[in-house]
Structure 1
Amino acid sequence: MSSSCDVTGKKPGFGNSVSHSHRRTRRRWNPNAQRRRYWLPSQGRYVRLNVSTTGIRIIDRDGIEAVVARLRARGVQL
């Protein structure tokens, strides 16, 4: 499962981990992505989304119907 958010589009960030001696090794910062199941009352079914914690807050604020409508307008199949 890729660690990207379906709602916000957040993806892993890449960079260097710098030790005390200043040696650099590659690392990545993953978004806090979680697999969530939301009930869509208009369709009478559940929808599984891979969302970050920011995406969860957006769904709580705007509602799942509005977020799904935005995703469909963007061309995402649910």
Structure 2
Amino acid sequence: MAKTCQITGKKAMTGNNVSHSKRRTKRVFDVNLFTRKFYWVEQDCWISLKVSAAGLRTINKIGLNAAIKKAAEKGYLYV
């Protein structure tokens, strides 16, 4: 699961570099990923997750337990 957010499932996208002369070459748009440790109160342990900036906002909004449960249902995280 390299370069994939474990909460939102975001992956790297491909696109084109476009030069001034309009020549197109392939490039990769990587995800804004961070490796963060979170304290999971319900399990009383620390966990390490690879999360994107959007994943961090999701955890702040709905909470870590709900975010992990939603990610496990969608198949982004294997718990």
SS in 1 for 2:36: strand
Aligned residue-pair number: 78
The TM-score normalised by the length of structure 1 is 0.87
Which one has more relative contact order, counting CA pairs under 8 Å at least 6 apart?
2
CA positional deviation for 1:77: 2.4
Identity level (%) = 36
After superposition, the C-alpha distances for 1:30-50 in whole angstroms (9 at most, x for unaligned) are: 110111111011111111111
1:74–1:23 Cα change, 3 Å: closer
- State the TM-score, normalizing by the size of structure 2: 0.86
Q: Which residue of 2 aligns with 1:35?
A: 35
SS at structure 1 position matched to 2:43:
coil
For the pair 1:77 / 2:78, whether they are aligned, the reply is yes
The AA in structure 2 aligned to 1:14 is T
Gaps of 5+ in 2: none
